[in-house]
Amino acid sequence: MNKEEMMENVNLAVKVCKKCRLHSGALNAVPGEGNTSSEIVFIGEAPGRTEDETGRPFVGRAGKLLEQSLSDIGLSRKDVWIGNIVKHRPPENRDPLPDEITACEKFLAYQLRIISPVLVVTLGRFAMNYFYPEGRITHDRGTLLRTKNFNVYPVYHPAAALRNPEMMRGFVEDFKRIPQILDLIKKGDKNIPVQTDQQIDDGQLVLGL
Ligand code: SF4
């Protein structure tokens, strides 16, 4: 099986998943999408309203800002992979609960194993704390971390940037550094702070994989 076929299997498993309560209030699963050979993946918290309606990640106003920011560094959506930690929309956009994350995280773990990205860009506090629980977004955004076996670069969530001009400045500034961060990693920078050696549980997944 090639990467696309493996990812399609994960996506199909997500679409029929009922492992937590979130599926019952959602219109569509949002497994994630993009280039399964990308060096960079973008990970948010959970689908919002527009994502729930369309089954696609980051397609509302926040998605437009993400697309514009990608364009500013010479990339487009189809060059990268974009997904979320949980795959169904939590009611009223509340934060996912710990048992929902536990139920869902094998999907993301498997997706990341398929893609094997050089850099994971986390979008917002919640996604950063998934990879780096001790982190504070105002302090750690724009910092390259080595955590859970990934190179992780936290930035503000684009939706938060749209609400707050100061966060927008930080988001734009951090986003523009992504190519430079990628270069640093490829050159084998030894100064990347290691935050934890805990790995994401990508044990036994799913459905004929
Ligand atoms: S959020 Fe994840 S674990 Fe919960 S039903 Fe959806 S795919 Fe399954």
**Domain ranges, ordered by start, for the chain:** 3-190
The tokens describing 61, both together, are 């106003």
By alpha-carbon position, which residue is closest to atom 6 of ligand 1?
88
Q: What is the pLDDT of residue 109?
A: 96
Please tell me if the CB atom of residue 104 comes closer than 6 angstroms to any atom of ligand 1: yes
- pLDDT value of position 194: 64
Q: What are phi and psi of 151, to 5 degrees?
A: -85, 115
Q: With a cut of 70, say whether residue 202 has pLDDT above it.
A: no
Residue nearest to atom 3 of ligand 1 (CA): 104
Using DSSP's 3-state secondary structure scheme, residue 90 falls into coil
pLDDT score of 188: 82
- Could you please state the CATH topology (level 3) that the domain comprising 3-190 is classified under: Uracil-DNA Glycosylase, subunit E (3.40.470)
Query: Distance, CA 103 to ligand 1 centroid (Å)?
Result: 7
Q: Is the pLDDT of residue 206 over 70?
A: no
Q: How far apart are CA 157 and CA 142, in angstroms?
A: 12
Q: With a 6 A CB cut-off, is 106 part of the ligand 1 pocket?
A: no
- Structural contact between residues 73 and 24, judged by C-beta atoms closer than 8 angstroms: no
Residue 108 region, left (φ>0) first, then alpha (ψ -120 to 50), else beta?
Answer: alpha
- For residue 27, report the distance from its CA to the centre of ligand 1, in Å: 12
Distance 152 CA to ligand 1 centre (A): 24
Helices within 26-97 (DSSP H only): 49-54, 61-72
Lowest model confidence (mean pLDDT) among 4-8, 136-140, 172-176, 194-198: 194-198
Ligand 1 centroid to 15 CA: how many Å?
9
The protein residue whose alpha carbon is closest to atom 4 in ligand 1 is: 20
Does ligand 1 come within 6 angstroms of the Cβ of 87? yes
Q: Rounded mean pLDDT of 138-155?
A: 94
Q: Rounded distance, CA 126 to CA 92, Å?
A: 16
